Structure 1
Amino acid sequence: MLEIRHLKTLLALREHGSLVAAASDLCLTPSAISHQLKELDHWYGVEVVNRRSRPVSFSQVGQRLLKLADEMIPQLQIAHTDITRIVHGQTGRIIFSSECHSCFDWLMPLLNQYRQQYPDVDLDFASGFEANPHELLQHSEFDLLITADPIALKGIEYFAIFEYESRLVLSQTHPLVRAESISVQDLAEETLITYPVDKHRLDIMAKLFIPANIQPKSIRTTDLTQMLIQLVASGRGVAALPDWVVNEYEQKGWVTSRRLDCVAQEGLRRTLYAGFRTEDKDKGYFDGFLKQLAKFSQKRQSYYH
């Protein structure tokens, strides 16, 4: 019966032209090569390789088997490589979800770096903002959650990525820019411009307005950070954004920002976490992402401190 070893032997004979050289390449003896050729001759009832010619030549049947070998052996090698990568955790899929609308500013460059090391891992994002993302993570709807509000759930771990300050964003001409202090009552007179997410997941609502049992005059939403900044810059309202987002637009002179010291002396500070299932740490490609995230976290902390 025709076997993979026969096809490899025929390829080696074509490449080297003799039984001795082919045997050396395959780590076999010349007699073992000769025995394989006899098996083929017996199976097909004709001579497959003319061993008397120099270099060896192939009959019509031998040529057809070589064509088969050229098609099959590369595919087997690719499959072997793929299987090895799967077994060693080098391939898979990571689906991300984020409660932070502006996290893509730092997350996307990190993912681009990760793709260079793990090109066979499929990276994807859950669509939209879920109402109960922690439970969905627990039930494998996605694999990694970016959140500022970790919840203790069975089988879920959280990795602290970095601390940030949520700052009040104002137009350059807003009266509060020059105010000695800003109270929650001052902000209650403003239109709050924010992303279209549940108000309990907005830093300024969860840590300022809701505890004070006060609501802003109105809330206006937009999906895009640049549009949000444009609305603030044109005096349509105020916003609260993470410092890494605000810094970029302050440097451009589009807006200005103030510390929300009415929440605490150090401002409205939060910690961003990555939530994931404990069982996924055993996957090589997932552990690789966590290690890259840890390296990013260390670099960011050393930069800001």
Structure 2
Amino acid sequence: MLERIHLKIIHAVHEHGSLTAAAKELCVTQSALSHTIRKLEANLGTEIWVRDGRSLRLTQAGLYLLNIANRALPLLVSAEERLKQIALGERGTLKIGMECHPCYQWLLKVVAPFLESWSDVDVDVIQKFQFGGVGALLDYEIDLLVTPDPYYKTGLVFEPVFDYEQVLVVPTDHALTSLQYATAEDLRDQVLFTYPVEKDRLDIYAQFLNPAQVIPKQHKTVETTDIMLQMVACGRGVAALPRWLAEEYCTKLPLSVVRLGEDGIAKQIYLGRREGDSNIDYLTAFIETARSYNHPTGIVNK
């Protein structure tokens, strides 16, 4: 029978590369560790790993179990922590996964009033799930997923909580500031800065450039909003961001905002949750707080 210790051993050996190091981490003898895996291999009728010189190499069965270990072990740890919190009468931690670079600044403004109202609930923001958060939500690694692009799947619910417009950010002396709106053709000779995301998940491409079959002169990726807009302010290129975020930076840097197309690009921030979690009071309260968040420019969600 496959047990938790087997997954811990496989994970530890993969992480450290040897039985000796894995045994030390797990506080067992090397011989006990070897005996446990040999017994598992006998029960399964297949090898978990084979010797490759001085190191161990996982077999196909071992790689499969490693994948299970990577998913199951964090889930078990999380479950144990949650059960301990329940036993102590605590509500625990609300774990939020991010699938949106600029949404982080928006989230910070929602977290503050939530923490004031829910003193017995902590918040943990996890960004390692960027562009893969649905799996983390289904695996109970996070409780909420912040995303502008909901992926509807059985067992999940995505609720729109914030409307915004995607706009073009340019230097204040840029030629495009004289226009009512920019066309895709206007970006053909521009250097475009974006976050390091696949192009098909960037609104500026999917909803603006690609339909017009326009490719900007150059596309550069920047990890952080601050550096990206410093580059734009210095005349190195242009960028596409939510209007609310762009206008905040316009008060700090010599930047201007230009609408993308005559009708603009309308977007929403969604909070994704598991369908069965609708009865968790603090989770529901966070969603309601996000909906009623008073935007810095004075726009209030209804």
Please report the TM-score for the alignment, with normalisation by the length of structure 2.
0.64
Q: Does 1:177 align with 2:177?
A: yes
User: Partners in 2 of 1:84 and 1:120 — Cα distance?
Assistant: 15
Q: Could you tell me which residue of structure 1 aligns to residue 259 of structure 2? A: 259
Higher alpha-carbon deviation: 98-107 or 158-167: 98-107
* Residue pairs, 1:36-75, within 5 angstroms: none
What secondary structure, in the 3-state scheme, does the structure 2 residue paired with 1:94 have?
A: strand
Instruction: Give how far 1:254 is off.
Output: 1.6
Q: Spell out, residue by residue over 1:199-233, the C-alpha distance to the aligned partner (whole angstroms, 9 max, x if none).
A: 22222122112233332222222222121111001
Instruction: Give how far 1:94 is off.
Output: 1.8
Q: Does 1:275 align with 2:290?
A: no
* Residues 173, 94 of structure 1: alpha-carbon distance in 2 compared, 3 angstrom cutoff: same
* Residue pairs, 1:133-148, within 5 angstroms: 133-148=133-148
What secondary structure, in the 3-state scheme, does the structure 1 residue paired with 2:212 have?
A: coil
What secondary structure, in the 3-state scheme, does the structure 2 residue paired with 1:124 have?
A: strand
Q: Could you tell me which residue of structure 2 aligns to residue 86 of structure 1? A: 86
Instruction: Give how far 1:296 is off.
Output: 2.5
User: Partners in 2 of 1:243 and 1:144 — Cα distance?
Assistant: 24
Q: Please report the RMSD computed on the Cα atoms of aligned residues, expressed in angstroms.
A: 3.0
Instruction: Give how far 1:84 is off.
Output: 12
What secondary structure, in the 3-state scheme, does the structure 2 residue paired with 1:296 have?
A: coil
Instruction: Give how far 1:288 is off.
Output: 2.6
* Residues 131, 245 of structure 1: alpha-carbon distance in 2 compared, 3 angstrom cutoff: closer
8 Å Cα contact 1:204/1:240 also seen in 2: yes
8 Å Cα contact 2:167/2:257 also seen in 1: yes
Residue type matched to 1:277 in 2?
R
| Structure with a larger share of its residues in strand | 2
Q: Spell out, residue by residue over 1:59-94, the C-alpha distance to the aligned partner (whole angstroms, 9 max, x if none).
A: xxxxxxxxxxxxxxxxxxxxxxx9998379851222
Q: Could you tell me which residue of structure 1 aligns to residue 218 of structure 2? A: 218
Q: Which structure has the bigger radius of gyration?
A: 1
User: Partners in 2 of 1:89 and 1:291 — Cα distance?
Assistant: 24
Instruction: Give how far 1:252 is off.
Output: 3.6
Instruction: Return 5+ residue gaps in structure 2 as ranges.
Output: 1-81
How many residue pairs are counted as aligned between the two chains? 221
Instruction: Give how far 1:244 is off.
Output: 0.8
User: Partners in 2 of 1:267 and 1:140 — Cα distance?
Assistant: 37
8 Å Cα contact 1:161/1:297 also seen in 2: no
Q: Could you tell me which residue of structure 2 aligns to residue 22 of structure 1? A: none
Q: Could you tell me which residue of structure 2 aligns to residue 106 of structure 1? A: 106
8 Å Cα contact 1:90/1:285 also seen in 2: no
Q: Could you tell me which residue of structure 2 aligns to residue 289 of structure 1? A: 286
Q: Could you tell me which residue of structure 1 aligns to residue 123 of structure 2? A: 123
Residue type matched to 2:245 in 1?
V
Q: Could you tell me which residue of structure 1 aligns to residue 29 of structure 2? A: none
What secondary structure, in the 3-state scheme, does the structure 1 residue paired with 2:106 have?
A: helix
Q: Does 1:237 align with 2:244?
A: no
Higher alpha-carbon deviation: 250-259 or 188-197: 250-259
